Amino acid sequence: MAVEKQIPVGGEAVLRFEDVTFNYSENKPVLHEANFVVRKGTKLTLMGPNGAGKSTLFSLIMGEKKPEEGRVLINNGLKLAIAKQFIPHTEWSSTVREFLEKGFTEKIYDIDKRAKKVFDIVELNVSLDKTIKELSGGQKGRLLIAQALLQEPDILLLDEPTNNLDKAGIQLLTDFMKSYDKTVIVISHDAAFLNSFTHGVIYINTQEYKIEQYIGNYYKVVEEIKRAVEKAERANAQLEKQIQDNKDKVNFFALKGGKMRKLASKLRDEVEEMEESKVDVRKEDRVIKPFTINCQENIGSVIVSFDSVEVLHDGKPVKRNVSLELRKGDKLHIIGPNGIGKTTLLERMANRKEKGVTIQDGINVGYYRQDFSTLDFDKTAYQELAQVLKKLDDQLLRRTAASMLLGNEQLHSKIGLLSEGQKGLLMFAYLRLQQPGLLILDEPTNHINFRHIPHIQEALKNYEGPMIVVSHVHEFVKELGITQTLDLGKL
């Protein structure tokens, strides 16, 4: 029988938002007079759509950003720490030790001793003298969590902590979160991970720019929100029918003259009232439309052939012989423990620099990199999408972007200002316009709202070209129709 998580009730309030208002600009509000309370020992999920301001809310809690109005109150003496989504490229030249030290305002003289204790918790086995750029994606993910835990915070903020972690890493983090007795707020799209330990949800309502709070099992809260949305949609549909009926009557009676014209005027007023009473369906519950990624035409038979690959053992590159061929429709899943070099291998293949892997000449490679560094963050989304088209087709570009929930505002924003989730959807829009002859995907579900995943799964499953994918999300991979698996850990 499942054991219900004990929800701390009536506990001390350790964090409060009181009428907090924050805007990026006049046309980009995030919060308006938002209120919520976090009590000691609770573990909460922070939910909202891509670009709603989840990471911004974390910045307000950490004091990195200041509210325009209202107050963010944290009990005196409490320590806060955050494990962010990724380590910026500007810090990749730092050593692991230097990165850990950046979590403190004062000099820490026993950092090596403290690091060993925390590294044991997150099972991170790297030298403190290594530079960040030498670490794998999974090791960087564990290091972010380690840096936060090293500070021994009373309130721990985790921003997409399962991104870049393999299955073993996610299980380790799940077990840790279950036993951790401090206050935690988590942003994540990993529903199973969240449901295992959270007591409730802090929900950003992007229609009203408010914060809503829900208590209970994560899945139950998601279902509760879904029912509320469906109820609003049904009410809107019924109102829409009444509005159309009245509009038809208005048009009919207006032509009759006399008393009929007065009745038409009355009905017109009723139509306006009904229009005003329609409920706004939350933007965050919008889902991308079903889509396809068309394959490059006339791509031939054997698209990719493997004779060898380079992997990392004890941090050193080692060549391993492999005999593999990928034809049209083949889907290769590359697996292996964190630190084996999966991301590096995909990058080298995408750039045709992996000596033991041959990609047929003329093949257009579609590469989804997990940190989105193939995108130019100084360009607008529109400019990035336009460059993939041989001939600019404004309507096609906008239609493709809109189906991925990227409207005019997002298209004309610099990519660096988009949320990580929006960058992910932009990458899928890019791949659709590119029509590649080979897809190379590195953790393509990271940052993506779980509501979008089924449509992404279906598009990748139906892609007719060969595909190479690295993903730690078993449920996602299971739906892709994998034809071959390459386990780097067994080479």
CATH (domain of 320): 3.40.50.300
pLDDT tier for residue 153 given thresholds of 50, 70 and 90: very high
Structure tokens at 407: 């409207």
Structure tokens at 398: 């906008």
- DSSP states along 165-203: --HHHHHHHHHHHHH--SEEEEE-S-HHHHHTT--EEEE
pLDDT tens digit sequence for 288-347: 999 999 999 989 889 999 999 999 887 788 999 999 999 999 999 999 988 888 989 999
**7 occurs within a structural domain:** no
> What mean pLDDT, rounded, does the chain reach?
87
Residues 344 and 468 in one domain: yes
Residues 279 and 313 in one domain: no
**437 occurs within a structural domain:** yes
pLDDT at 389: 92
- Please check the confidence at residue 245 and state whether its pLDDT lies above 90: no
Q: Which residue has the tokens 């003289």?
A: 109
**297 occurs within a structural domain:** no
Residues 237 and 274 in one domain: yes
**294 occurs within a structural domain:** no
Residue 77 neighbours by CB distance under 10 Å: 6
3-state DSSP percent of the chain in helix, strand and coil, to 5? 40, 25, 40
Q: Which residue has the tokens 């380079």?
A: 310
Residues 36 and 175 in one domain: yes
Which of 55, 131, 39, 56 lies closest to 89, judged by CA?
A: 131
Q: Are strands 200-205 and 210-215 parallel, antiparallel or unpaired?
A: antiparallel
Structure tokens at 46: 């922070």
Which span out of 157-171, 192-206, 320-334 was modeled with the highest average pLDDT? 320-334
Helix or strand or coil: residue 316?
A: strand
Sequence-ordered list of residues with C-beta below 8 angstroms from that of 15, at least 6 positions apart, any chain:
37, 38, 61, 72, 73, 74, 75, 155, 183
pLDDT, greater one: 295 or 194: 295
Are 467 and 367 in contact by the 8 Å Cβ rule? The answer is no
Helix (H) or strand (E) holding 255: none
pLDDT tier for residue 85 given thresholds of 50, 70 and 90: confident
CA–CA gap between residue 176 and residue 170 (Å, rounded): 10
pLDDT at 264: 65
Residues 35 and 160 in one domain: yes
pLDDT at 165: 80
CA 349, 355, 360, 363 dihedral sign is positive
pLDDT tens digit sequence for 389-436: 989 899 999 999 999 999 998 999 999 988 888 999 999 999 999 999
pLDDT at 364: 96
Q: Are strands 80-83 and 69-74 parallel, antiparallel or unpaired?
A: unpaired
pLDDT at 28: 76
Cα dist from 281 to 179, 286, 455, whole Å: 38, 9, 21
Residues 317 and 445 in one domain: yes
Residues 311 and 213 in one domain: no
Q: What is the mean pLDDT of residues 129-136?
A: 90
Least confident interval from 25-29, 355-359, 369-373:
25-29
Cα dist from 462 to 304, 332, 466, 481, whole Å: 19, 14, 11, 9
pLDDT at 3: 37
pLDDT at 369: 93
**1 occurs within a structural domain:** no
- Please check the confidence at residue 387 and state whether its pLDDT lies above 80: yes
Using a CB cutoff of 8 Å and minimum separation of 24, what contacts does 318-327 make? 319/356, 320/488, 320/491, 321/356, 322/356, 322/486, 322/491, 324/484, 324/486, 326/302, 326/438, 326/466, 326/468, 326/484, 327/301, 327/302, 327/303, 327/466
The one-letter amino acid at 63: G
Residues 138 and 236 in one domain: no
Last residue of a domain, one of 179, 206, 223: 223
Residue 160 buriedness (CB in 10 A; 0-12 / 13-18 / 19+):
buried
Q: Which residue has the tokens 């292996």?
A: 336
pLDDT tier for residue 237 given thresholds of 50, 70 and 90: confident
The one-letter amino acid at 61: I
The C-alpha angle with vertex 89 and arms to 363 and 188, in degrees rounded to 5, equals 85
CA–CA gap between residue 491 and residue 488 (Å, rounded): 5
**6 occurs within a structural domain:** no
Least confident interval from 51-55, 98-102, 464-468:
51-55
CA 447, 452, 458, 462 dihedral sign is negative
Least confident interval from 247-261, 312-326, 372-386:
247-261
Residues 44 and 116 in one domain: yes
Which span out of 160-164, 267-271, 299-303, 462-466 was modeled with the highest average pLDDT? 462-466
Q: What is the mean pLDDT of residues 7-35?
A: 82
pLDDT at 236: 72
pLDDT, greater one: 273 or 75: 75
Residues 200 and 332 in one domain: no
Residues 325 and 472 in one domain: yes
pLDDT at 116: 93
Last residue of a domain, one of 194, 223, 252: 223
Residues 261 and 405 in one domain: no
* Domain assignment of residue 272, given as a range: 224-285
**290 occurs within a structural domain:** no
pLDDT tier for residue 89 given thresholds of 50, 70 and 90: confident
Last residue of a domain, one of 223, 244, 259: 223
Q: How many domains does the chain have?
A: 3
Are 147 and 124 in contact by the 8 Å Cβ rule? The answer is no
How large is the greatest C-alpha to C-alpha distance in the chain, in angstroms? 91
**8 occurs within a structural domain:** no
Of all residues in the chain, what percent carry a pLDDT higher than 90?
55
Of all residues in the chain, what percent carry a pLDDT higher than 70?
92
Q: For residues 170-205, b (16+ Cβ closer than 10 Å) or e, as one string?
A: bebbbeebeebebbbbbbbbbeebbbbbbbbbbbbb
pLDDT tier for residue 238 given thresholds of 50, 70 and 90: confident
The torsion angles phi and psi of 428, rounded to 5 degrees, stand at -70, -35
Chain-centre distance for alpha carbon 137: 16
- Please check the confidence at residue 2 and state whether its pLDDT lies above 50: no
pLDDT at 276: 62
- Please check the confidence at residue 461 and state whether its pLDDT lies above 60: yes
Which of 126, 143, 149 lies closest to 87, judged by CA?
A: 143
pLDDT at 1: 29
pLDDT, greater one: 253 or 294: 294
CA–CA gap between residue 241 and residue 46 (Å, rounded): 36
